Structure 1
Amino acid sequence: MSSDQFGVHKWHIFKFILLIFMIGGVNCDLTISTLGPSLVNTTVGSNVTLVVTISGVPDPVITWKMGSLPVVTWTLGSSVAPDIAIIHRDVLKIETDGSLTFQNVSFAYSNTYTVEIVKSGFKTVSATFVLKVYDYIRNVSVNTEPADALEGAEKFTLQYSTLQGEADQWRWYFNSVEIQNNSHYTVGQKSLVIHQPNRNDTGPYTLVLTNPFSTVTFHRKITVLYGPDEPMLGASPSQAFFVSGDTLSLSCQAEGVPQPSTSWMFGGQTLPVSQGGSLNLTNVQTSQGGIYTCVLVNVNTGAQRKRNLTVNVYESPTASPLCSVSAVNGNVDLQFHCRWPGGTPEALLSFPALTNATSGAGDVNLTIPASQDLNGKMVLCRANHPLRQTRCNITATGPAKFLPMVLTTVDREGKIVVTIHCNSQAMPKAMVTWSKGTELLANGLQYQISVDTAQLNIHDFNTSTAQLYTYTCNCSNPLGNNGKKTQLLGPTISDSSLFPNQNGTIVTMTWEVPPTSVITGFDIQMSGPDLLTVTKNGSRRKRAIEGFRSIQQRPGSSRSTDISVLDPKSTYYFRVIPIAGRTQGEPSAMQRIGPGGLSRPQIIGLAVGIPCGLLFLLLLIGLIYLCVYCCRKKRQQNRYPVPRAVEKVVSTQPDVNTPNHLLTGGLKPLPDYNRMTSQAAPAERSIPLPTFVAPPPVRTATIV
């Protein structure tokens, strides 16, 4: 063969080899494929292999991952033992073809497995398996908390559990109808949630659990507790009211699970009920009328409901209605009040004469402006009750005239306290304001006004200045006012008397004082022999003592006293001295008791009166003589001549009843003896007066 031919032959061989290598390069790519499904189910304790087929290049590196964690690494075809994680060496085994075998697999190996093939110069390839390890489902239970659902609760959960095996499918049924997720139900992997359960959710629930190797069905009955619902109340017999002595029965029923228990309460006490919850009342009285409360309780949930039932027992008020009137709104308005308590129901009251719109039950008030039309007007209150009708009336009046009352006491410090009480009859009761002179009085250290304002207390009263001040009390109500001034006086006795007994051994002395006199006590004084002293040998009398001496002290409220053990054969003189604190007033007139004859004051009066009477009589006779003498002398006076042309003669006749106004010469008119006679003292009138003789007519002339 020539060299040219040999060269051509070698070229063809080279191209053939190159073609073979080109074809071989395409078929030598690294590949991996799985035999069987990628989801592998097995049971606990069994052996299972994840089978793969690897082709392409020789001796690739194989890595198996459990999840994302490598657990086995090996070079395919190598004599070197594979690298298996220590914790998995008892379970995992790699086959010569690269497949992964599980021996006596457990639940822990349920996972995703990935095999990766790596060869330098080639693209990494991989395959993925899902291994699920199951067990047969056994011992299924459904638990709830609480045991029963409560109507109106936020949610109620049924949760199942198994002692063996897991389900990959679960279905819930209620009354044989499968439950779907919605607003009322939420179906979870392990639970069923009932949102806002109600009584319609009571019934049988069924749970069906399934896995590739078993199916289990479980039943559970759920009870939804509810109630008590709104109770139904009733009374038998059914009527608007009852009368004392009637018999009735009260019933109370309501729906609920469990059936609610029933009790009755009245006046805060629980009453015994019959079986079924009825309350029987026999011979009912008015005290049993009122509100009865039915209490329904769900013993499982503790929920309760109450409802009231009113039992009316009618009875008429026994008393009569009462009418009154008072001052309101600053003592300018009148408030009429009518009250008729008691009875069942309460009476309706009204004032028809004042208004037709105002009425009340058992008690009514009506306020109207005060006017003089209401002063002394009788206002009627009409009282109506289903069993009785009646009325009452009230008359409003302004303050009437009154006299103040003065009371004097002594406080603990020995100081005088004067109390002035002003009580004017008025309806409504009058309010009193007090003043001293022009000064308006208010509560203070010296002046204290009572709560009802009708009384003024003057502390540390000075009797020496009693007459310097005038105290005024002004009583007023909406219909008017009336005032009274009080001039306080020092201790004064206005009158006194003496009344002996039949034997003359005891006397009762009485005295009076002015109503405004300030008095804290009385000193009873006597002049004459000492009072008799009773001894074993009989009565004995001491010697007579001149002058008055104190024998008794009486309080300021006393107006009389008894003086005993007097000698009827002796003469005694008595008097009373008023006292205000340490100040003594003028003594009363002396009172005498003893044998017949003139008393000492009478003797003194006669001794002084007779000479005075004689002297007065002489003076009167002299005055009469002087008047007669002057009149005669005047008539004898000369008259001036008067021309006849201009003479004007006037004739006058004196009138004994009219004084003479034409007297001249500075003479005074003659005295009126008749008037003097009528005004004279009794002692003076006892002496006859001379008769007055009128002078004769006098002619007077006027010169013009």
Structure 2
Amino acid sequence: MRTLTSQVLVIIFGFALPGGHCELLVSALGPTRVDTTAGSQVTLAVSFSGAPDPAFTWFKGPLPVVTWTIGSELLPDIAQSHREVLRLEPNGSLTFLNVPSEYSSIYTLEMTKSGLGTASLNFTLRVFETFRNVSVRLLPETVTEGSQEFTLQYHMLHGVVEQQLWFFHGRPIQDHPRYSVQLGSLTVQRPNRNDTGRYVVSLNNPFSSETAHIDVTVLYGPDEPRVQVRPAQDFYLWGDSLTLSCRADGDPEPTAEWTFGGQTVSPGQTGVISLTHVQTTQGGDYTCTVHNQITGARRHKSITVVVYERPRGSPLCWLRSEDQVRLQYGCRWSGGTPPARLHFPDLTNSSGLENFTLTVNASNHLDGAGVTCVGVHPAGDHTCNVTASSPKDFLPAVGTGVDSEGKIVVSIHCVSEASPPTVVSWYRGGQAVVGDGAEEDIGDDTRRLRLRHRNVSVLLLHNYTCTCSNPLGSRSRDIHLQGPAIAAFALFPHEDGTIVTLTWEVPPTSIVTGFDIQMSGPDLPGANRKRSPDTYRTIFSKPGSARSADILELDPKSTYRFRVVPRALMSEGPPTAPHRIGPGEGLSGAAIAGIAAGIPCSILFLLLACGLVYFLVRWSGIQSRQTRYPVSRAAEKVVTPQTQAPSPPAYNRLHQTPSSLSVAPPSFVPPPPVRVATTV
């Protein structure tokens, strides 16, 4: 009974602590979007926490296909039509064996546990087949300019298409009113001479890709040459790729060549050149010459290609402090052709090229105000923002360690959020800290003060102050270092009672280099020497950075007490209040003596109570059996002078008939009172 009570108290104490909250959680052990090939094996892996043995249900779309309770001796309930493919793992994961392509779907796992609600997780499974024997055909086989349309259709032996892309002359076919792209076909409305060329279809899925092409010739008569650049843009950026094409109408098709700067640049006479990774030096006029080999006619047409170089990245804004009095706003966006122009429209009308700085006096209206730098370039305008802000309130961070010389090292960090970044000043007892000695050292960024000494008492003698400042203001915080101390201490036993976990926290400004874990009770296995179980002894130590400790190999039938003693080298702080684990300790000798003395007193009190109850019952019965006589007026006046005796009832008036009581009854004189004694 004591053990059960202790377990209940431990459970209640555990849930009373911060963080005593249960929540049913389910998560994926891999991606939730799974692609696989037909005929393979794939697993939708999950894990859960928050409750043991929850109930699982897997859905394929809206249809439940598998149900089971984790740890149940019953086999999972798998839908009849899916038993050849689906398998449920012991942890609730779903495995597909030799998965067909029709098993592509959204699978949902719902996990339930009484009292904890429902947790769910969605997976997307896509099953693909590889492509084989892809070909494209033209309908109709002969295309003439002015006909209604022609259609390109692709066929394959088998495969699952996730994406299809059509290309014309190596360029992707974009949305256009004349092009109609559907699954399996490309239709060209109102074909003309410009539709002559090679059409390529690219079929893709995550596991295979295939391309097929067809050459289409649109018959047309002679016409003026057309010069095109694709993609068609007002200008091109450094590194872009573009294609120049020159076509002349005629049958047969005339030849064409391109010249740039007086030099022939086309590789042949097809009238198409591709410029990949174009440079700024390649900008200028390109001339196409079309020659009909049969007629001998020549025609010329030029096009201008403009190439700009985009500035690298995006504009970069920065803010600096000048003499801790003025603010210097800066903006940089370099590497462009032409150079980018930069300015701060919120501060001034002036501007600069590529790298622009502006210095202004610090003022309150700039505190928290965002300032935008606008970069202007033909490739596109871009902006960056910077906000000046005064230092915000902050909390110093204190860390403790031990250096190679065995000295205590206390590092105090003071960082305040501000823009431009703050400069930190340190004070000890109101005097500035130089920080260039062995015992006091200020870091290069001024944000860290490091103190060194062998005696923790010396470190506690002074109070320190850090001040973070920039041109817009300053903030200060005082640091009062404390000796070794522990702010919170808790004990968490494991289920079998052989392991406990101790956790503790340390005050923010406490100097702690280590902890002694102490225990009273039976010695742990492997102890070097036996000691009294009622005394505390250190079983092991932890470094100053530790906040928890595990004690193993405990006897569940024994009682132990644990506490933690903070240390700063050889100086000890106050130990924590002890926590106990194990069954009750039994009654002490004083308690047993008290119980022994109390038993006779309890019996005597019980007998007196029974006698009193018996007396009251007897007295009440005797009073109820005594004859009650009318009281004379004399006695009435003596006993109850304020109450009058009631007159006899009027019997004739009650019965309305003569009776023996119709005559007034004789007066009655009561006998003298008799003293009666009752023995209980």
Give yes or no for TM over 0.5.
Answer: no
TM-score by length of 1: 0.40
In terms of Rg, which structure is larger? 1
